[in-house]
Structure 1
């Protein structure tokens, strides 16, 4: 629909630009990307497209933010890291009756957003949090796998990213911020504290990655999937390629003094050093992503494992496709469920498969009966 207008907050970052590119390719919506000032050559090039324009906007300018939101049909919040964000954007969208989507990847922020479910429902606003690749597409993979079983018992999600993943320094900040504190994981029907980047596990991903090391990592899925599906255990693990990045991250999580990770200057130092390092290693590692969703449970009275995998050559582009898919469906009113929702609670598997296929994203699925014992 040509009269639809989409506002992308943080649209000059790598993920924000990827979302804009996906919308240009798959919709006719008019797109406004924001930033404090026009600074990205990629954004300048996007502006050469008749669909895209730039708006200088500081999120601290509440009146400016309110005016920008009110003049659009959909707001996509890409201005992370979300650990430092409150739910002001979502609250303003609810007040203005504008649908909302974000690429948040932080547990605390997600809880703040979900607290507005009743307000969004009352305002008729559909709001979806944690879109992108992981979380986002990963949530839909789990929903697909759960639906193949009569009863799901355990969810095991693993992610591996090559080098920088094509993302910017903000994603590096998010990784190190995620190492600050132990987090709660749902294990054997109870919440248990887990230390970030612990319990290394070797997981087999599709080619070109093969076996790769993954570690406990705090993701919103660690608690939204517990709310979505009646399972006993939810495991979320993350790793990097080349493997030496895993060892460096492990050292940061376990050897560095905790004060380093709680100091904004320390986080900035680690993020920028890592970004420079991946700028070199990306040349041989690539910037792709692989996801492995494994759900075990019961099917026809037998213990069964459903495993789906996905590989994409560019992590940032995949994140843009995950968010862009949801935006497309919201714009054409195929995704209309007032309230605030994680992806797996609002996106039907059929629509997930349709939009993924239209973007060349293919899910590989294996279903196996498990031997007794």
Structure 2
């Protein structure tokens, strides 16, 4: 079996993907710039036939794709808010199926620019194989048929304070804190990153503060599932940290020259100082309102709760499922597309069955 190449394979998400695939019997190659870290993670993988490669993905990917001939390449090298399509284009040139975990709105929504090239190469190019829009669309695919019309979708994610957080994810969020988000759906014209605070109650883990975030779902889900109004938020478990970032958002909104992405390293380090006061438990909520097929008002609340640090496993699942299918020759579809409706909720939850993750319906 040809190996699955994981770019950023020893990072926050890459190491989880590689471990899960290796445990399921799929050979993997851990790739990154740091040979020491790649080799260290390689030694932890179960099974045989795995490898490690140290190279600059933007300079040397073509050479290594030709050498390794992987069944698929999984790109975890964020932040995607600041990335271009050069990695995906190189994979297309070499006819290697491509999957990424991007949550960058423009990046995921624009991946269809590569559709014809991917079709000519006869491969799938899939962007956003992560919680959003991978899991969010799976939930809509599962429960959407219960509605004749979805008038509102309000959803969000709140990780546990002690759950491992990556620098790329932090930098991606900070890139739009306090900035006006591009208009979407029928929402009011000006929405700002990390504003519009509200408290969300979760089963098992209690209340969490939430604030606006910019993700591809804001454009993709209303079109795919006929959602009239949509709102996505994220939250930090600890109130002082969440409200502190909210205050920073006002500094940016008021025009004070502060480059938050450049401060992502120090801010992430400072946030880790507060780990003692938090937990390793997080969750996601999806609240749907609308009408059933009898014209009656319908509300559905779906929650997923992860404990003991298993939350970061959730974003890895779509990439794992899709990579397994591709490695077995089961291409879900040929062409370039966002990961909308490509993974079902039952197969998503089956892949999470080994972790301390539970779902709840209201």
Answer whether contact 1:145 1:295 (CA < 8 A) is retained.
no
Residue aligning to 1:35: 32
1:336-355 equivalences in 2 (<5 Å): 336-355=332-351
Mark the CA change 1:99 to 1:259 in structure 2 (over 3 Å): closer, same or farther: farther
Equivalents in 1 of 2:354, 2:6: separation in Å?
Answer: 22
What stretches of structure 2 of length at least 5 have no aligned partner?
none
Match of 1:178 in 2: 176
The question of 1:295 aligning with 2:288 is answered yes
**If the length of structure 1 is used for normalisation, what is the TM-score?**
0.86
**1:24: which partner in 2?**
22
Instruction: Name the CA distance, whole Å, in 2 between partners of 1:342 and 1:359.
Output: 26
Task: Kindly report the root-mean-square deviation, in angstroms, between the aligned alpha carbons of the 2 structures.
Answer: 2.5
1:346 deviates by: 2.2
Is the 8 Å Cα contact of residues 19 and 319 (structure 1) preserved in structure 2?
no
Going from structure 1 to structure 2, the CA distance change for 1:83 and 1:73 (only over 3 Å counts) comes to same
Match in the other structure for 1:156: 154
Structure-2 change in CA distance of 1:253 and 1:182 (3 Å): same
Distance 1:273 1:359, change over 3 A: same
Equivalent residue runs for 1:103-182 within 5 Å: 103-163=101-161, 165-179=163-177, 181-182=179-180
TM-score by length of 2: 0.89
**Is the contact between residue 321 and residue 359 of structure 1 (CA under 8 Å) also seen in structure 2?**
no
Q: CA deviation at 1:69?
A: 2.7
- Whole-angstrom CA distance in 1 between matches of 2:197 and 2:112: 31
Q: Is the 8 A contact 1:101 1:128 kept in 2?
A: yes
Conservation of the 8 A alpha-carbon contact between 1:185 and 1:223: no
Is 1:332 aligned to residue 328 of structure 2?
yes
Equivalent runs, 1:1-373 vs 2, <5 Å: 3-26=1-24, 28-40=25-37, 43-46=41-44, 50-61=48-59, 64-70=60-66, 71-163=69-161, 165-179=163-177, 181-188=179-186, 192-208=189-205, 210-256=206-252, 258=255, 260-261=257-258, 263=259, 266-269=260-263, 271-301=264-294, 302-313=296-307, 314=309, 315-357=311-353, 361-366=357-362
Q: Displacement of 1:350 after TM fit? A: 4.6
Distance verdict in 2 for CA 1:91–1:284, change over 3 Å = same
Higher deviation after alignment, 348-357 or 52-61: 348-357
Separation of aligned partners in 1, 2:314 and 2:277? 20
CA contact (8 A) 2:9 2:31 kept: yes
Deviation at 1:258, TM superposition (A): 4.4
Q: CA deviation at 1:139?
A: 3.0
- Cα offsets for 1:138-179 (capped at 9, x unmatched): 332233232332332221111111226312222221221131
- CA change 1:148–1:328 in 2 (3 A) is farther
Confirm or deny: 8 A CA contact 1:86 1:112 kept in the other structure.
no
Higher mean Cα deviation, 33-42 or 306-315?
Answer: 33-42
CA contact (8 A) 1:33 1:54 kept: yes
CA distance in 2, matches of 1:168, 1:120: 30
- Relative distance call for 1:30 and 1:151 in structure 2 (3 A) is same
Aligned length: 355
Which segments of 5 or more consecutive residues in structure 1 lack a partner in the other structure? 367-373
Distance 1:348 1:319, change over 3 A: closer
Cα–Cα, structure 1 residues 139 and 55, in superposed 2: closer, same or farther, change >3 Å? same
